[in-house]
Amino acid sequence: MKELQELAAKLLTDGAVQVVIGYEEGPRGVRPAFITDPAQAGRLVFDARCVQNLATYLNPRRKHIVQLGKSAVVVKGCDARAIAGLIRERQIARESVVVIAVRCGGVLQRPAENAALNSETISVRCAGCDVREPKLYDYLLGELPPEPPVNAARSEQIAKLEKMTPAERRNFWNEEFSRCIRCYACREACPMCFCVQCMADKAEPQWIDPSPTLESNRAWQMMRVLHQAGRCVDCLECERACPENISLGLFSRYIADAVEKRFEYKACDDPAVAPPLGVFSTEDGEEFIR
């Protein structure tokens, strides 16, 4: 942590960056911090409560942060994938951001929790993580912590859903989507949702009915998931932001698995890898086409 604070102070003093986006102690757990004064760098912390994906703040749509100047951002491996995604999709230039990557030993489910990491408290997204030591960075800090425990709750739930009949699955999702209030918190929290105008906000033509009915909620979530296919970095910020606790994480895992199985693509922190739905192979499977 000292290493992180010193680096942040140095970057700000040298004028290499104007703002360091990191984590600080807040009234309810760890919260994002925007440090512009080198004297304040001591506020930065990093531990298992640092759940938030700070790559969201690099989104060019967030003008209030862009106007602060060049930023350095503290990331875990999973967040580095989001930065790689933004670079891959030409939203930011690699030179426009200083990536301070921290080796990660897994995170908790919520930043306000203060528990030891075990297979119940650890986030489901840490299961099978292969980017605990990110490859996309300018500075790489910390020692590599031991292999974290695995929380298999999500994969068990997906397996359970897959065993159901289609009607049962539809009932399950109907129950989930009927709770949606269309606050679009899932979209706002997402590092990869950067469209200047979201299709859900378009009135002419109106793709998605803005009132929260079951049908329009389903259409909205399916659209969101399809737009995220092959781009989602599985940071689970959508699920954490959801005030109705809709199981949005089930989608991100399921689609990521489908993309991996079909196109041999896994979300990675290498910006040079082509997005799977932006390219094709003549050998792609078409067993579902008659």
Partner 1 sequence: MPYNVKPEIGHAWSPKIVAFVCNWCTYTGADLAGTSRLKMDANVRVIRLTCSSRVNPLFIIKAFERGADGVIVSGCHTGDCHYSTGNYYARRRFAILHDLLQFMGVEDDRVTFSWVSASEGNKWQEVVNETTDRVRALGAFHAPLQEKGGETL
The contact set with partner 1 (CB under 8 A) reads 157, 160-162, 164, 166-175, 199, 207, 209, 213, 215-216, 218-219, 222-223, 225-226, 229-230, 247, 251, 254-255, 258-259, 262-263, 276-277, 280-282, 284-286, 288-290
The CA-based angle 169-170-171, given to 5 degrees, is 90
Q: For residues 134 and 157, what is the distance between their CA atoms, to the nearest angstrom?
A: 28
Residue 260 sits at φ, ψ, to 5 deg, of: -65, -40
Q: Cβ closer to partner 1: 231 or 240? A: 231
Q: Cβ closer to partner 1: 25 or 215? A: 215
Tell me how far, at minimum, the Cβ of 224 lies from partner 1, in Å: 11
Tell me how far, at minimum, the Cβ of 284 lies from partner 1, in Å: 6
Tell me how far, at minimum, the Cβ of 141 lies from partner 1, in Å: 37
Nearest to 92 by CA among 74, 66, 68, 67: 66
Q: Cβ closer to partner 1: 10 or 262? A: 262
Tell me how far, at minimum, the Cβ of 169 lies from partner 1, in Å: 3
Q: Cβ closer to partner 1: 34 or 172? A: 172
Q: For residues 84 and 94, what is the distance between their CA atoms, to the nearest angstrom?
A: 9
Q: Cβ closer to partner 1: 81 or 253? A: 253
Of all helices (H) and strands (E), which one includes residue 155?
helix 153-163
Q: Cβ closer to partner 1: 66 or 219? A: 219
Neighbours of 66 (CB within 10 A): 17
* Residue 71 near residue 19, CB atoms below 8 Å: yes
Tell me how far, at minimum, the Cβ of 236 lies from partner 1, in Å: 17
Residue 132, C-beta contacts closer than 8 angstroms, at least 6 positions apart: 77, 103, 104, 105, 106, 144, 145, 148
Tell me how far, at minimum, the Cβ of 42 lies from partner 1, in Å: 45
Q: Which two tokens stand for residue 182?
A: 């269309």
Q: Cβ closer to partner 1: 168 or 244? A: 168
User: What is 101-121 written as a DSSP string?
Assistant: EE-----BSSTT------TTT
Tell me how far, at minimum, the Cβ of 254 lies from partner 1, in Å: 5
* Residue 66 near residue 253, CB atoms below 8 Å: no
